Structure formats: C-alpha cells, structure tokens
Amino acid sequence: MILRAEGVRMFYGDFCALDGVSVRVDTGEFVSIIGPNGAGKSTLINVLTGALKPSGGTVRFKERDISGIGPVRLARLGMARSFQLVQVFPDLTVVETLQAAVVSRLGRGTRVFAWLGRDSEVREGALEVAELFGLADKAHTPAKHLPQGDKKLLDVASAFALYPEIILLDEPTSGVSTRDKHAVMEILVSASKRLGIKSIIQVEHDMDIVFGYSDRIVALHQGKVLADGPPEEIRANDDVVNTVVGRKAGAFERGA
C-alpha cells in the first residue's frame, strides 16, 4: 500500500465536504474517483496531496503521516499532481516548464550561477517528456499561447516530469474533446510506464474512460464513499449507477 486515507473529514466553515472518507491505493494501481459535481472529489485530491489539512482523520503516504505537509515536501517524497483548473506558467515555454520540473526533481534549483541551457541532463529530461506528451513541436511556445487542451496536457506532463511514484490527476481530460480523451489516456498510461510512475489516481467524469482504464473505482457522494471496488462490481452497483453514472449507464454498457 502506497497511499491510505482514513476517516478523513474536511469542513469548509460549517459545511462538511468530506465526511469520514477512507481510501487506499496500492502500488501499481490505476484508481478513478467518480461522483457528481460537489461530491468532494477535488477536496479529496487536495487532502491526499497535502494541500489541505483535513479537519479529522489521517493521510499516510509510504507509511508516513502527510496530512497538511504541503506540496513541496510531498513532491520530494514522490507524489505529484495536476489541477482541475489548469495551472501553467503563462510566460514560460513548454520546454521551460518541463525544465523547471526536471530542475526540481534533480535538486538543481540552488545552482545560481550554472548555465541552464548547457545542462544537457535537464534539457533531455524535458524534451523526453515533451515528446511522450506530443508537445515537442510546441517546445518553444509560451504556455499562454497554447490551446486549452495542450495547457491541460502541459500541466499533467510537468507533474510526470517529476518522476513521482504516484500521481493524482484532477480531471486530466476536462476541456479535451471526447475523441481526444482516449488519446490522452493512452499517453498517460504509456508515459507512466516509461517513466516508472507506479500508481495513478484520477478524477474523471467520462464513464467510458473510467471503466476502460481503471483497476479500481471509488464513487463519492455528498462527502462519503458510496462504493469502492473493481469496475465490474461498480457497474453492478445500483446506488452508483443511479447517483453517479446516471443516464450515461446505457452508453458505457454498450461501449463495454
């Protein structure tokens, strides 16, 4: 087991966004978190990545309590994330963004007088990830000039460039056309194999994708875990089908 949350509660003021959530992720697992809007999925990601300190409960990563320790230390421990609302560096190019991640991974940010352009390890590390994500031909485009889908991809790619052991992706394919969603998922899977990323947790709305790629699915509803199990089990769960999967049920059954 690599990541485990137990009895996590999270309040925003009086509002209880997470109400005793327990989840675990094993090494090598691809876990999808599903649930209607406002279910608490993003809050859970923020708690699991140490960005939010839970009001109650514990989060352990590699047997270590990480609740609220913050993203910087978590990145160093081997956990990375991307955001639901895309986060890029507007004035940095694609390759600079990825270089920044590689610099961080190699611990070279303290090199005040080194010439970045001559650091071949950093440049090659950045270009490798750019190629894996199909961003190589836009290497010198500033992030602010990228189309929305590529911004999302860059956000994810820069997290991958940290070579984390586990990566948490909050709606990695939102804003990407349905046809391209599968292409993005293929990239995620092959890139994580290539870079040695063991576990992936994603929040995803597209049920085709959820059922097609996940080893396990966690369904959240109103801050509680509604169901947790392999795809077949979730598909057979009426509660989940009614509250989360909803009308799309027919669609994925046909697809599957």
Binding site for Mg ion (CB under 5 A): 41-42, 84
Give which of other proteins, Mg ion, ligand ADP, none residue 120 binds (C-beta under 5 to 8 Å, depending on kind). Answer: none
Q: What's the closest the beta carbon of residue 138 comes to other proteins, in angstroms?
A: 13
Dist CA 116 CA 218 (whole Å):
42
Q: Which of residues 17-36 bind ligand ADP (CB under 6 A)?
A: 17, 35
Structure tokens at 60: 């352990």
Give which of other proteins, Mg ion, ligand ADP, none residue 130 binds (C-beta under 5 to 8 Å, depending on kind). Answer: none
Which of these ranges, 37-45, 106-114, 190-198, 233-241, lies near other proteins under the rule CB under 8 A?
Answer: 106-114
Pairing of strands 30-34, 199-203: parallel
User: Which residue lies nearer to other proteins by CB, 14 or 91?
Assistant: 91
Distances from the Cα of 29 to the Cα of 20, 87, 112, angstroms: 23, 25, 39
Dist CA 253 CA 256 (whole Å):
5
Assign 247 to helix, strand or coil.
helix
According to CB under 8 A, which one of 55, 89, 174, 222 is a site residue for other proteins?
89
Which of these ranges, 33-41, 59-67, 107-115, 234-242, lies near other proteins under the rule CB under 8 A?
Answer: 107-115
Backbone angles phi, psi at 56, to 5 degrees: -160, 160
Assign 202 to helix, strand or coil.
strand
Pairing of strands 64-65, 224-229: unpaired
Q: How far apart are the first and last CA of the chain?
A: 29
Pairing of strands 166-170, 199-203: parallel
User: Which residue lies nearer to other proteins by CB, 118 or 179?
Assistant: 118
- 3-state SS string for 140-167: CCEHHHCCHHHHHHHHHHHHHCCCCCEE
Give which of other proteins, Mg ion, ligand ADP, none residue 12 binds (C-beta under 5 to 8 Å, depending on kind). Answer: ligand ADP
Q: Which of residues 153-182 bind other proteins (CB under 8 A)?
A: 155, 158-159, 162
89 burial type by CB count under 10 A (0-12 exposed, 13-18 middle, 19+ buried): middle
54 binds ligand ADP (CB under 6 A): no
According to CB under 6 A, which one of 2, 3, 32, 43 is a site residue for ligand ADP?
43
User: Which residue lies nearer to Mg ion by CB, 132 or 217?
Assistant: 217
Residues that bind other proteins (CB under 8 A): 49, 70-72, 75-76, 80-83, 87-93, 96-97, 99-101, 103-105, 108-117, 119, 122, 140, 142, 155, 158-159, 162
Residues that bind ligand ADP (CB under 6 A): 12, 15, 17, 35, 37-43
